[in-house]
Amino acid sequence: MAYKIVASQCTACGACEFECPNGAVNLKRDVYVIDPKTCTECEGHFGTPQCAAVCPVPNTCVPA
């Protein structure tokens, strides 16, 4: 139960990093990566996964 970022489409704007309630999104080299161990799909925090809701590129932040 986690989200992932499609690296080839990510613009590295960092909006998801700022919104993640678990600190699961981190910049690794020039790409943002979601740590599947820490990601909870925002359950218990918000109604929808925040990273996917704020991502500006369609189909780039998706269920893993």
Partner 1 sequence: MLAAEPKSCGISVRHGKASCGAHGGQGDLPPAIWDKVKTHPCYSVEAHHHYARMHVAVAPACNMQCNYCNRKYDCANESRPGVTSEKLTPEQAAKKVLAVASRIPQMTVLGIAGPGDPLANPDKTFRTFELVAKAAPDIKLCLSTNGLALPDHVDAIARLNIEHVTITINMLDPEIGAQIYPWIFYNHKRYSGVEAAKILTSRQLSGLEMLSARGILCKVNSVMIPGINERHLVEVNKAVKSRGAFLHNIMPLIAAPEHGTMFGLKGRRVPRTSELKALQDACEGEMNMMRHCRQCRADAVGLLGEDRSAEFTKEKIVTMTVNYDSEARKANQAGIEAERRARIMPRQEDVGEHAGGTSDIKVLIAVATKGAGLVNEHFGHAKEFQVYEVSQSGAKFVDHRRVGHYCQGGHGAPDDLAAIIRSINDCHAVFVARIGGRPRGELHKAGIEPVDQYAHEFIETSAIAWFSSYLKKVKSGEIQHVDRGDGAIRQDPMMSVA
Residues that bind partner 1 (CB under 8 A): 11-15, 18-19, 46-48, 50, 53-54, 56
Instruction: State the minimum distance, in angstroms, from the CB of residue 4 to partner 1.
Output: 19
Long-range contacts at 56-61 (CB < 8 A, ≥ 24 apart): 56/11, 56/13, 56/15, 57/9, 57/10, 57/11, 59/6, 59/9, 60/5, 60/6, 60/9, 60/10, 61/3, 61/4, 61/5, 61/6, 61/16
Instruction: State the minimum distance, in angstroms, from the CB of residue 42 to partner 1.
Output: 9
**Which residue, 48 or 59, is less far from partner 1 as judged by CB?**
48
**Which residue, 23 or 47, is less far from partner 1 as judged by CB?**
47
